[in-house]
A and B are shown apart, each in its own frame.
Chain A
Amino acid sequence: MMSNLTRAERANAMVIAGTGAFIGLVMAAAGRGDPMGAHGWIVLAFCGALFFVVGSAYEDPEPTQDRTASYYDDPTKVGILIALFWAVVGMGMGVWVASQLAWPDLRFDAAWSSFGRIRPVHTSGVIFGFGGNALIATSFHIMQRTCRARMPDQVTPWFVLLGFNLFCIVASSGYLMGVTQSKEYAEPEWYADLWLVVVWVVYFVLYIRTLARRNEPHIYVANWYYLAFILVVAVLHIVNNLAVPASLTGAKSYSAFAGVQDAMTQWWYGHNAVAFFLTSGFLGMLYYFLPKRAERPIYSYRLSILSFWGITFFYIWAGSHHLHYTALPHWVQTLGMTFSVMLLVPSWASAGNALMTLNGAWHKVRDDATLRFMMVAAVFYGLSTFEGSFMAIRPVNGLSHYTDWTVGHVHAGAMGWVALISFGSIYALAPVLWRRETIYSWKAVEWHFWLALAGTVIYVFAMWNSGITQGLMWRTYTESGTLAYSFTDTLVAMHPYYVARTFGGLLFLIGACIGAWNVVMTIRRMPSETPERDYPTSSESREPALPAAE
């Protein structure tokens, strides 16, 4: 891996890692007695290790091959493996938090093991650790292929990938120490947030620079989605995390916003983290790997345009549907509800476009579990966006909000859509990336597929049942006009569903473990094979002056 870097690039990497290690040391010294000090040591260890890994290979011979003749895939390979690692960790934590709700004593006699502290380790682990790494790795792959151009340099992609993972490590270790802003999906404290801004700006610049080098007149639709993911997540992240630290030598900070404005800002962020982190980027994945695997062109160019701009414009308005019947002004709630319902049009345009692309390739869906992962992901995308629009309607939300129905909805999207499209893409990508004949075990892919599907369905059904049951029990009245059930009555009714949910999650976790094993075995055991034409070539397109009508 190091042999692909020139000596100047190795020196650059060492300077960056050395600077990071120094910052870690300063944090460790300044934050003594505060979790920030522990974070300083973590940063120091992370950057120090990188410094020595690069340093020990500094004197190795320099690469000789012509760079323009190939794509740069080393960061993609590492990114995919890290994503699989986070999948196992994040989903493992998920099974643990889920079982704590069924069996609350399933914890250690230590503060760090309580539900409140490990729950964000699960959410950040799967969203940022698994999802984020899968997005970064696949974006590196896709932007190079669809631009027919190699990335502009070799240090920046490593900076983005490893810098992002440093953020993930600081975030999840922080939760265990009680470092959190309490803003859901934006829990990390101020210094981690600042670091993510640096990483994200570099990521954007890398993306734009690669696009600028492209040998293809048009930017492919997958790249629009990745671009929207990078840009909008940056805006959301910066605004929602505006805060004043209590002290520069401690982790604690206070949000710049309070009360109703803070609630709106938080759910503007929260819902659009779903939109631009968990939807936009993964649609980029879908738009590349699904047609590629099915060997069919995208069904409709116009639908792609309609859904892309529809999603980008409509989603931003939808956040306020998290605040129905609260102290948020009624007009904002109504706007959020209206746009959430309208959002169904571009969402279904995307899902439909994906499924129609499979026309003529349905026999492949039957035979090829990898393509089936992507097909089922598109179906779950369609289902959960419909459910989302439905739940955003004020009276429906009156029942569903605060209950497990929301949890079920999120997991239909996160497991059924985000994780399945990621696993499908990883199975499609691994043999190409590592130059292997095929994946190690197709049977294992089948097993993973059915375990994941069964796990998702069990999970979602359990949460629908518990959510709707609890919502109805809360509002049930006796004949004499008093509330029929105490809160604890509803909690008792939840128990069987919490057990079922844990079981569904466990199936999904086993599938992910099989997937990780299968990819590792593909790298270690399969004979190598170089795919045809996976290198930068000049454009073959003879483009018409105007797009042809479909």
Chain B
Amino acid sequence: MMKFIRTLLKPFAAFFEAHAKTHYRLERHSMGLTVGIIIAAGVGGFIEIAPLFTIDDTVEAAPDMRLYTPLEQAGRDIYIREGCYACHSQMIRTLRDEVERYGPYSLAVESQYDHPMLWGSKRTGPDLARLGEKYSDDWHVRHLVNPRDLVPESVMPQYAFLLEAGLDTDSLPDRLAALRAVGVPYTDEMIANADSDALGQAMPDTERSDGVFERYGDETAVRNFDDRPGRLTEMDALVAYLQILGQLTDLPEQTQILPEE
């Protein structure tokens, strides 16, 4: 028996012996070690990441996938600025309880234009991947002003200052242009009108809002999100973003058979 095990292990023993001897010589050369480390550490990342860019079915095709409007993108930037991703995921896993709690599991295509993605790593608060249109704008505003007014057990911070902070729309064309540079298909017209469209999305029944429908589609939510007409605040932007979460494409609902209520 011992003999059999020894025969079995012999190639491994020989390998480690050769390895130790080679290493004994290698470790006298700093550049040898440098090259060795780069090769050893390079293989795994290359094999796991590179194919994600080349294999087509990594990301599903969703013909109805729409872009974030400038106001929603501004809201997304505020979501990142405040570190919301530290407590809220935007990734529903393929597990029964998650699908029943939050909705259809997330598809890769849904974050196709998310630079960066906000899948998150921790749920101190619930997942937000399908938050859009679950609650009213008014609920969101009141919840953001003081979460414990609506959910007494909540440990979420208050964001009342968003109501007072005017939204910086001047930088929006630059932001959309940068997003186009990394692959989001914004048109020249969308970039040129970004600041006007941000204002228009919160001002229904104006000339500006017509432009938003024209460029981003008839299903765009055009309304005054924070119920304070006349002023575009960061609260408008953030609520507009929260209301679009999970609404960019209908593909998950079309392809997944949901358990009956």
Contact = CB atoms under 8 A, between A and B. Distances in A.
Contacts of B14: none
A64 interface: no
Contact of B20 (A227, A246, A302): A302
Interface stretch (B51-59, B134-142, B219-227, B238-246): B51-59
Interface string B13-28: 0001001110110011
A434 to B, nearest CB: 30
Interface stretch (A108-116, A124-132, A281-289, A418-426): A108-116
Interface in A232-290: 232, 235, 239, 243-247, 250, 252-266, 268, 272, 276
Nearest to A330: B94
A211 B30 CA distance: 7
Interface stretch (A4-12, A55-63, A331-339): A331-339
A80 B112 CA distance: 45
A498 to B, nearest CB: 8
B118 interface: yes
Q: Is the interface of A mostly helix, strand, loop or mixed?
A: helix
Q: Identify which of B30, B178, B184 gathers the most chain A CB atoms within 10 Å of its CB.
A: B30
A370 interface: no
A332 B124 contact: no
B157 A227 contact: no
Contacts of B85: 116, 182
Contact of A117 (B82, B112, B153): B82
A364 interface: no
B3 interface: no
Nearest to B112: A259
B52 A253 contact: no
B187 interface: no
A180 B81 contact: yes
Contacts of A474: 97-98, 101
B154 interface: yes
B34 A227 contact: yes
Contact of A327 (B23, B40, B107, B153): B107
A228 B41 contact: yes
Contacts of A314: 44
Interface stretch (A37-45, A450-458, A483-491): A483-491
The size bracket of the interface on B is: 35 or more
Contacts of A243: 182
A247 B174 contact: yes
Contacts of A116: 82-87, 157
A412 to B, nearest CB: 16
Nearest to A317: B44
Contact of A326 (B31, B43, B44, B93): B93
B215 interface: no
Nearest to B60: A327
A488 B52 contact: no
A413 to B, nearest CB: 15
A329 B52 contact: yes
Contacts of A114: 82-83, 157-159
Interface string B130-168: 000000000000000000100101111111010000000
A115 B125 CA distance: 12
Contacts of B127: 402
A72 to B, nearest CB: 19
Contacts of B108: 259-260, 327-328
Interface in A314-350: 314-317, 319-320, 322-329, 332, 335-336, 339
Interface stretch (A99-107, A194-202, A509-517): A99-107
Contact of B178 (A228, A254, A266): A254
A244 B116 CA distance: 11
B182 A244 contact: yes
Contacts of A313: 40-41, 43-44
B253 interface: no
Contacts of A102: 155
Contacts of A398: 93, 95
The size bracket of the interface on A is: 35 or more
Contacts, number: 269
A232 B39 CA distance: 10
A305 B23 contact: yes
B191 to A, nearest CB: 12
B174 A262 contact: no
B66 interface: no
Interface in B68-105: 77, 80-87, 89, 91, 93-98, 100-101, 105
A120 interface: yes
Given A114-B82, A184-B121, A219 B178 contact: no
A117 B49 CA distance: 30
Contacts of A265: 49
Contacts of B84: 116
Contacts of A115: 83, 86-87, 157
A526 interface: no
A305 B97 CA distance: 45
Contact of B115 (A257, A268, A305): A257
Interface string A515-550: 000000000000000000000000000000011000
Interface of B: 16, 19-21, 23-24, 27-28, 30-31, 33-34, 36-38, 40-45, 47-49, 52-53, 55, 58-59, 77, 80-87, 89, 91, 93-98, 100-101, 105-127, 148, 151, 153-159, 161, 171, 174-175, 177-179, 181-184
26 contacts: A104-B155, A114-B83, A114-B158, A119-B86, A183-B116, A184-B121, A232-B37, A246-B175, A253-B178, A254-B175, A254-B182, A255-B116, A258-B184, A260-B52, A261-B52, A268-B49, A312-B40, A315-B44, A327-B107, A401-B121, A477-B97, A483-B101, A488-B151, A488-B153, A491-B154, A492-B153
Given A244-B181, A260-B58, 15 more contacts: A116-B87, A227-B34, A244-B182, A250-B174, A259-B113, A261-B52, A268-B48, A316-B44, A322-B121, A327-B91, A327-B108, A329-B52, A482-B100, A487-B101, A488-B154
Interface of A: 100-102, 104, 107, 111, 114-117, 119-120, 175, 178-184, 208, 211-212, 217-219, 224, 227-228, 231-232, 235, 239, 243-247, 250, 252-266, 268, 272, 276, 301-302, 305-306, 309, 312-317, 319-320, 322-329, 332, 335-336, 339, 398, 401-403, 406-407, 474-475, 477, 482-483, 487-488, 491-492, 498, 546-547
